[in-house]
Amino acid sequence: MQGGVLQFAPMKKQSLDSIVDRGLAAVDDDDLNTAENALEEAARIGGENHVRVLHLAGMVAWAQGRLDQAAGYLMQAADAAPEDPQIYLDCAECLLLHDQDLDEAEAAARAVLRLPGASTASTDQARLLLAQIRLADDDTDEALELLAGISEERKDDSAYLSTYGFVLMNSGRAREAADVLRRATEVDPEDPDVHYWYAQALDAVGDIEGSRAEMLRVLELDAEAAAELDPVSEEVAEDLRDQFESVLEEVPDRILKLVSNAPISVQARPTSDQVRAGADPRALVSFIGRPHTDDADARLDSIVLMRDVLLDEIEGDDDIPELLMVGLVDELRRFFRLEGLEVASGAEED
């Protein structure tokens, strides 16, 4: 009888592990039906609070866009102090990417560095996530230290190069950043984010032509990845214009005078010609005209609101006014060189 019990326990654990592994593989393959079935089966065997079940539950919720639940499940899994570094890494990445709880994200990533059996690949990934977390907290010095600790073989991949380049940009080292981000685009030419950061670095070093060429590539790659949507209806356009005009009422009169006479239109995404002329392909609010330069004042011809860019960022209709305000202030800074504007109020800093 005792022998039967001793044989049954490992079989049960192996069965649970194989089910969870199948579910996680299904999440990676975007096969959510299989992942959900595996989650139900794993919960029946191990219970809903088993660390591996919690991990799978978090990954399924994340894939389904249930971000609060995903974060909750993954933090519970990490709190159980598992030996699997991937649980901590998934927890940290979910929290970081969706602005959930950077302190918890940092704790999870640092836990991997303390695991005695963690592989070099796992500790490299932990340092990469920690560098991004420290950058989000404006600590570029520690971000650079963390990146320096990554293994040499990992320093040729796109994730490392793009993160390193972004940290260099935020450290005021734009020329070095441009060199690193150029290498990142060569390693992963289909990643629009890398092209976007590279374009920003080129702009910072004065290579306007190169920057706009990269932004055109961003426009192309974003369009390829986007879901096909209906053309912008007049009803949607009118609603967005009305909401934007309400946002304009919140800005100071001195700032309002800069934009009040410009016609407002709505389109899906920027056109190639608009990007060639300097529009940001990921800007929700685009000012069309001639930006302020050292030699000439700005000339604003029109304002365009980008419906698809809004849909990429929105979680609910209540988000629209805030996103429009952020887009407006970003464009005011860029087009008129009004660097002292605050997002919350649109007022200038003292």
Predicted confidence (pLDDT) at residue 8 exceeds the cutoff of 60: no
Question: Are 164 and 183 contacting, i.e. CB atoms less than 8 angstroms apart?
Answer: no
Q: In the structure, what pLDDT confidence band is assigned to residue 180 with cuts at 50, 70 and 90?
A: very high
What CATH code would you report for 157-225?
A: 1.25.40.10
pLDDT digits (tens, 9 = 90+) for 34-82: 999 999 999 999 999 999 999 999 999 999 999 999 999 999 999 999 9
Interacting residues of 187 by C-beta distance below 8 A, sequence separation 6+: 156, 157, 158, 161
CA atoms within 13 A on the CB side of 202: 18
Q: How far is CA 236 from CA 230, 232, 247, 267, in A?
A: 11, 6, 17, 10
Where in the chain are all domains bearing CATH 3.30.2010.20?
Answer: 234-336
Where in the chain are all domains bearing CATH 1.25.40.10?
Answer: 157-225
CA atoms within 13 A on the CB side of 222: 23
* Fold adopted by 234-336: Zincin-like (3.30.2010)
Q: How open is the CA angle 270-273-276, to the nearest 5 degrees? A: 95
CA separation for the pair 56, 24 (Å, rounded)? 6
pTM value is: 0.84
Instruction: Read off the tokens for 61.
Output: 């919720």
- What pLDDT does residue 256 have? 93
Q: In the structure, what pLDDT confidence band is assigned to residue 314 with cuts at 50, 70 and 90?
A: confident
pLDDT digits (tens, 9 = 90+) for 80-115: 999 999 999 999 999 999 877 899 999 999 999 999
